[in-house]
Copies of this chain bind each other. A is one copy, B any other.
Amino acid sequence: MPLPNDYASQSCSVARALEIVGERWTLLIIRDAFYGVRRYGDFITHLDIPRAVLASRLKTLVAEGLLVREPGPGGHDEYALTDKGQRLWPVVRELMAWGDAFYAPHGPRRMLTHAADGGPIDADGRCATCGEVVQVPDTVSAPGPGFDPAERRDDPVTAAIGHPRRLLEPLRV
């Protein structure tokens, strides 16, 4: 974080990690990337983030190698998670689990299941049915009991995550 007082002086990997993903909005951008969001405009409409901030964050994430910018099917460039970015999935998953545990009075807002056998994924990332650690592309994210359709807006992202989808599967053709 390029504030006068940064975390860099600390010999701690939590501090180093937070220098990259600890800035406001960054982890939400990463989360949306797992949900298949790849285009600037889709991030804007779903996150409701100031355009300048999104541009700045995307630049940082590409520079740090968490995202790659590449030509997409529509002729527009897209942002896709690299392996380095995908390895943040446990962080996002645990954050979601904590939020579900304490801030989702009607139950989890999203359920994670194993695409291969449909088994639910437990707290430490394993499929309750087969016991395997589920890889990111084999993870299906579906609305859970705490999902509130009333909050649904009409952007393509919100529409897409309204039914089960594999992580990383691009939102658009």
Contact = CB atoms under 8 A, between A and B. Distances in A.
A102 B123 contact: no
Nearest to A18: B27
Interface in A12-64: 12-18, 21-22, 24, 27-28, 31, 48-50
A27 B16 contact: no
Given A12-B109, A18-B27, A103-B17, A91 B87 contact: no
B100 A13 contact: yes
Interface stretch (A3-11, A72-80, A163-171): A3-11
A96 interface: yes
Contacts of A31: 12, 14
A interface bracket (residues with beta carbon within 8 Å of B) = 35 or more
A136 to B, nearest CB: 13
Residue among A5, A14, A49, A109 with the highest chain B CB neighbour number at 10 A? A14
B28 A7 contact: yes
A34 B133 CA distance: 27
Nearest to A93: B94
Interface string A140-166: 000000111001100000000000000
Contact of A91 (B3, B9, B94): B94
B27 A14 contact: yes
A130 interface: no
Contacts of A10: 28, 151
Contact of A17 (B14, B49, B99, B110): B99
A68 interface: no
Contact of A14 (B13, B21, B99): B99
